C-alpha cells in the first residue's frame, strides 16, 4: 500500500512538472529579431518558388508557425491575403477590407514593404485569441524578391516602440 502511494505521488509530481513545462513552452514568445530573420527566410524561399510556393505558408504545423507567431503572405499586386495558416477565412480577402479595431489598414501598410529594401514594421490593434478588446500587435513585412508577395509575421507586444523596431531594420 505504501509503495502504491509513493508511486501515485511520484506520478502526480511528474504530471505537474510536465504540465508546467508544456505551459512554459506554449507561452514562449518570438523576439523582434527572430521575426525579422524568419520573415526574411520565408521571403527568400518564396522568391525561389514563386506563386507555387504560397501554399507552403497555408499549413500548420509547419516551420512557418512557431512560438507565438506565424508567417502570413500578402499579394500586394492583387491587394489580397494570399496565405494565413491560422485564419484561413482571410485568404483571398481584399486587404482594404481588413482593418484593425481602430480602423487602421494594417495589411495595406505592410504592403509598403514592397517599396522598402529592408522591410517595414507596422503596429495595429486586434483582439488576442479568445478576447474581444484590441491589443497592440506589431508585424514585420518584407518583400519576396521577384514576386508580388510581401511576407509578414507579428506578435502581441506593448514594447518595444515602433521607432525601436524600425532601428532594428537598419542594423
Question: Are 42 and 17 part of one and the same domain?
Answer: no
Q: What is the pLDDT of residue 60?
A: 87
Question: Are 19 and 47 part of one and the same domain?
Answer: no
Q: How confident is the model at residue 11 (pLDDT cuts 50, 70, 90)?
A: very low
Q: What is the pLDDT of residue 18?
A: 38
User: Is it the case that residue 24 has pLDDT exceeding 60?
Assistant: no
User: Is it the case that residue 6 has pLDDT exceeding 60?
Assistant: no
For 41-56, the DSSP string reads HHHHHHHHHGGGGGGG
Q: How far apart are CA 24 and CA 13, in angstroms?
A: 17
Question: Are 37 and 67 part of one and the same domain?
Answer: yes
Grid cell digits, residue 65: 508557425
Question: Are 20 and 45 part of one and the same domain?
Answer: no
pLDDT digits (tens, 9 = 90+) for 103-127: 999 999 999 888 888 999 999 999 9
Q: How far apart are CA 87 and CA 89, in angstroms?
A: 5
Q: What is the pLDDT of residue 27?
A: 64
Q: Give yes or no for a contact between 78 and 148, defined as CB atoms under 8 angstroms apart.
A: yes
Report DSSP state, residue 47: H
Q: How far apart are CA 120 and CA 113, in angstroms?
A: 5
User: Is it the case that residue 4 has pLDDT exceeding 60?
Assistant: no
Question: Are 8 and 79 part of one and the same domain?
Answer: no
Rounded mean pLDDT, 166-170: 89
| Structural domains of the chain, count | 2
Rounded mean pLDDT, 19-33: 64
End-to-end CA distance of the chain: give it in Å, rounded. 64
pLDDT digits (tens, 9 = 90+) for 55-99: 999 998 999 999 999 999 999 999 999 999 999 999 999 998 999
Q: What is the pLDDT of residue 64?
A: 97
Beta bridge partners of 142: 151
| CATH code at position 100 | 3.30.450.20
Q: What is the pLDDT of residue 171?
A: 73
Average pLDDT, the chain: 86
Grid cell digits, residue 84: 494565413
- Among residues 96, 116, 127, which one has the least CA distance to residue 36? 116
Cα 107 off chain centre by? 13
> Residue 100 is part of which domain span?
31-170
Q: How far apart are CA 151 and CA 119, in angstroms?
A: 9
Amino acid at each position: 500500500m505504501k509503495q502504491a502511494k509513493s508511486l501515485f505521488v511520484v506520478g502526480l509530481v511528474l504530471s505537474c512538472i510536465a504540465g508546467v513545462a508544456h505551459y512554459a513552452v506554449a507561452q514562449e514568445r518570438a523576439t523582434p529579431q527572430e521575426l525579422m530573420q524568419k520573415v526574411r527566410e520565408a521571403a527568400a524561399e518564396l522568391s525561389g518558388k514563386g506563386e507555387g510556393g504560397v501554399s507552403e505558408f497555408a499549413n500548420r504545423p509547419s516551420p512557418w508557425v512557431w512560438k507565438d507567431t506565424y508567417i502570413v503572405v500578402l499579394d500586394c499586386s492583387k491587394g489580397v491575403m494570399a496565405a494565413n495558416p491560422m485564419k484561413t477565412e482571410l485568404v483571398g480577402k481584399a486587404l482594404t477590407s481588413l482593418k484593425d479595431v481602430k480602423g487602421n489598414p494594417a495589411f495595406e501598410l505592410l504592403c509598403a514593404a514592397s517599396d522598402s529594401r529592408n522591410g517595414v514594421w507596422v503596429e495595429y490593434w486586434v483582439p488576442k485569441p479568445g478576447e474581444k478588446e484590441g491589443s497592440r500587435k506589431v508585424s514585420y513585412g518584407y518583400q519576396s524578391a521577384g514576386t508580388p508577395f510581401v511576407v509578414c509575421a507579428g506578435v502581441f507586444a506593448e514594447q518595444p516602440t515602433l521607432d525601436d523596431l524600425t532601428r532594428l531594420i537598419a542594423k
